[in-house]
Every structure is written in structure tokens, then in C-alpha cells.
Structure 1
């Protein structure tokens, strides 16, 4: 006997009202329950029974006083169910992405304490690839010299009207093959370097966002007294003022840091890390506020050495930190 899914579904729908009648009667104080629905002509109808054709369209269960006890929505169409399923999958994907982003943020904060640590990890990986590229390029240079020599010998044989020895031909082809393999290897490694550099670039941007947000939280929690001497926060006011202040921050970083600009985005301005004891690195982070304004966080860093730490405690660095607000005020008037 075949199982009729459609008939079973319709029967289940028809039985739904009956299943909850007892409960609704309890809610109505033991009185009658009525069914309120809109008929085919658009008129509002209240009856003590529910016509089968109304069930898929939705209805309300009311008591004798007209108070609504339950609203039963219309049965969803296949299209609505498909759309609901699609939206559920989207929400689940967004939640997975949110959890993954939170995990990456936690990993960044756990693994690194300074943006210079991220740069150092990046440079270590890039240097390792550069060594491999250098080795292959050295091999290619040697093969090129050998190939040119073998090709001269082959040309000598041809000029004398003699056949080029099979072994010499084989050696020429093998050298060409190895050179081609080396070229492919170098190309792949250069692509890998680009991927690594971009991944670390995104890590640096995100790390500075997290760091800047933490600076602002610490300042707010301590009534403005929790900032390090190498940090300043500027509230840039309106969106237009923030845009101008951000442009000025790029100039300020270029003029006051000893290293050149390395990253410039809508949320981060970062100069190269301080490599020497006299180097000064600057970073600016744009932290949006809910009222469409933003705060700009300036952080000055020095080389991770005794001399570098001393440099970051000098009047020169304090002037850079304190001077940013004055610099903006003089140019945004």
C-alpha cells in the first residue's frame, strides 16, 4: 500500500485545532472556544467550528468574549519554506564566520603583544622563502652558463657538418628542463610571498584595531588617566573633520617617524617598525563611534632594546605624542 504524503499532511493540519481545544478551553475558563478567520470574500467570520479549507490559510482561536487565545499562521508555501531554509543557512554561516573571527582575534592577542612582533614573524617567513629563491636562482645562473657552453659546442659540430652527439643534445634538454622547473618554482614562491605578506598585513590591521579599541576602553574606564605616555587619543568630531584629520595624520606620520609609511588604509596608518635604537615608528588607528564620528588613536613605538625604551621616554617622543592634537587644531580651524 502506497503512503500518500499529501493526504497525511492535510489530515495532520485538520487535527491541529482539535489537539489544542482542551488547553484553550482551560485558558478561557472552561467556556467555548471560537474560530476567527477571513473567508473567501474577505469578510471576518467567527464560528464554533473550523471549515477544513480555512486551516491552510491561518486563523485565530478566541474565547466567548472575543479575546484571542492563539493565532495560527498560514501554512507556508514551498517557496517560503525554501526561502526560510536559505535564510537559516545564511544565519548559520554568519554565526560560524563570527565565531571564526573571534577565534582569530583571540589568537592574535595571545600570540603577539606588539605590532612589531607580527612584523618580525612576517619577515622571518618571507626571509625563509627568499633563501629558497636565492638558491634556485643561483642554480639557474650556473645552468645558464653551462647551457651556453653546451650550445656553443653543438654549434661547432653543426658548422663542421657533423651531427651533434646524442649525449650533448640530452644534456642541453636536461639543462633547459631544470631551468624551466626553477623558474616555475621561483614564480610559485613569489606568489606565496605575496599571500604571506597580505595575510600578515590583514593581521596587522586587525591587531591595531583591537589594540586601539582596548586603549579607548582603558581611557574611558580610568577617566582619561589610563593612557601610556606614548599614546594619544583625538576625537575628530564630524565625519568631514575625521576625513581631514586622517589626511593630516598621514602627513604627521611621514614628518615625525624615522621609517617610511608601510600601511595606509581607511582605518590604519602605520610606518615601518623601529629597527635601530634611534628609530621611531608611528601608528594611527581610526576607531568609529556610534554617532558617525570617530576617535584617532596615536601610538609611538621604539626599538625593543634598552636604548629604544629610553628613547620612547624622552621629551622628543612626548612632543610627538602631545603635538598631534596641536597639529590638528592649527590646521582644522
Structure 2
């Protein structure tokens, strides 16, 4: 059977006093001033200044520098930006500067990329000319049969329909290729614009105004 030990009253009082003192000290330590002068406005519109912000005004304060000027918290400014946006732009900028050394290199890279598209576009246009010529030959044949009063072969209408469908598909492919080329031109133009901004340190559109 366990026995309970009873501490003397004076010893118990000393322990309680020590515990309370430690608790108060810990609470005081957790509420030490941040070293910054804070500014906040209460519900009545009265502006207050102090080194400790009341909890109910958290998120509504602003920092004041020792010279009395508003101070921007770098942590808060980055937190307000969409996650990953700045790092993604920085990565793209580093890649751009690593690949190219001048805007002329960007132009040459654009032209090299467009060469294959241009070759494919020319191939499509040649195919269209060929199919169009075949369709015209079918129409001439139809005219000949009509003049002679002879019936058209069974496969004739099928050949005409096939030629018309092929021309339609080629037209779609030509439109898609031209759109792809225009998108590529726009992308390289945007890369060149950003490259010049990084190189000169002047945002695009401001170079003219700063020059005057």
C-alpha cells in the first residue's frame, strides 16, 4: 500500500510561489517588444503607436522606422504575391540570359525555328495545287462526257468528293501552320523584349520617355 507524503506548509508555499513566479516570467518573456514601432487604428478611428500590438488589431498594423517613416515588411510583400510566380519569372530570366548573348541571336533562333514551319507550309500549298489540278481535270472530264451525251463512270462522283474533302483538310492544315508560326513569332518577340529589359535595366516602353 502506497503512502502519501505530506510536505510542510512553509515548503508547499515556497514551491507555489516559485511556480507562479516562473509562469509570470515566461508570460513576460513571450510578450517582449519586437523592437519595431507599430501603428494601428482602433474602432473609434483613433491612431495608436507602441512597441507591442494588441492581438485584436493583428493584420491591421503598419511599421514605423526610427525616423518616423512608414516601413514595408519584406515578408508580407512576398506573401501577398501568388505562390511561385516570382521564382518562375526569375527562372525564365536566367534561362533567357544563359541562352542568348544579344537580341540578334534571338532573331536568328526565331528564323531557324520558322524554317521548318515554312517548309511544311510550302509543302501543303504544293499539295493543294496538285489536288486542285486533279479536281479541275475531273471537271473537264465531266464536261466532255456531257458534250458527248455519255453517262459518267460510277467512280466519278466519288473521286470529285474525295478531292474536295482533301482540299478542305489541306486548307485547315495551312491555317493551323500559319497560326503556329504567328504564335512563335510573338513568343520570340516577347523573349527579345524581356532580354532587352534585363540587359538595359529599363522596362520596355520607358526607354523613349527617359531619353527626353
Question: Please, what TM-score do these two structures have when normalized by structure 2?
Answer: 0.61
Aligned-residue CA RMSD (Å)? 3.6
Residue number in structure 2 paired with 1:266: 205
Q: Which has the higher contact order (CA 8 A, sep 6+)?
A: 2
CA distances 1:213-271 after superposition (whole Å, capped 9, x unpaired): 3xx9xxxxxxxxxxxxxxxxxxxxxxxxxxxxxxxxxxxxxxxxxxxxxxxx625xxxx
Q: Matches of residues 238-249 of structure 1 in structure 2 within 5 Å?
A: none
Q: CA deviation at 1:27?
A: 5.8
**Aligned equivalents of 1:73 and 1:111: distance in 2?**
52
Residue number in structure 2 paired with 1:174: 162
Residue number in structure 2 paired with 1:26: 25
Residue number in structure 2 paired with 1:16: none
Residue number in structure 1 paired with 2:54: 71
Q: Matches of residues 36-47 of structure 1 in structure 2 within 5 Å?
A: none
Alignment check: 8 A CA contact 1:24 1:69 kept: no
Residue number in structure 1 paired with 2:80: 91
- Asked if residue 120 in structure 1 is aligned to residue 119 in structure 2, the reply is no
- Asked if residue 155 in structure 1 is aligned to residue 154 in structure 2, the reply is no
Which consecutive aligned stretches of 4+ in structure 1 deviate over 4 angstroms post-superposition?
21-24
CA distances 1:14-34 after superposition (whole Å, capped 9, x unpaired): xxxxxxx988733688xxxxx
Residue number in structure 1 paired with 2:177: 189
Residue number in structure 2 paired with 1:5: none
Q: CA deviation at 1:70?
A: 7.5
Q: Matches of residues 232-311 of structure 1 in structure 2 within 5 Å?
A: 266-267=205-206, 286=207, 294=210, 296=211
Residue number in structure 1 paired with 2:127: 139
Question: Please, what TM-score do these two structures have when normalized by structure 1?
Answer: 0.40
**Aligned equivalents of 2:121 and 2:27: distance in 1?**
82
**Aligned equivalents of 2:193 and 2:187: distance in 1?**
10
**Aligned equivalents of 1:140 and 1:70: distance in 2?**
76
**Greater share of residues in strand:** 1
**Aligned equivalents of 2:94 and 2:159: distance in 1?**
55
Gaps of 5+ in 2: 1-19, 29-43, 45-50, 59-78
Q: CA deviation at 1:199?
A: 0.3
- Would you say how many aligned residue pairs link Structure 1 and Structure 2? 155
Q: Matches of residues 192-207 of structure 1 in structure 2 within 5 Å?
A: 192-207=180-195
Q: CA deviation at 1:131?
A: 0.4
**Aligned equivalents of 1:169 and 1:23: distance in 2?**
101
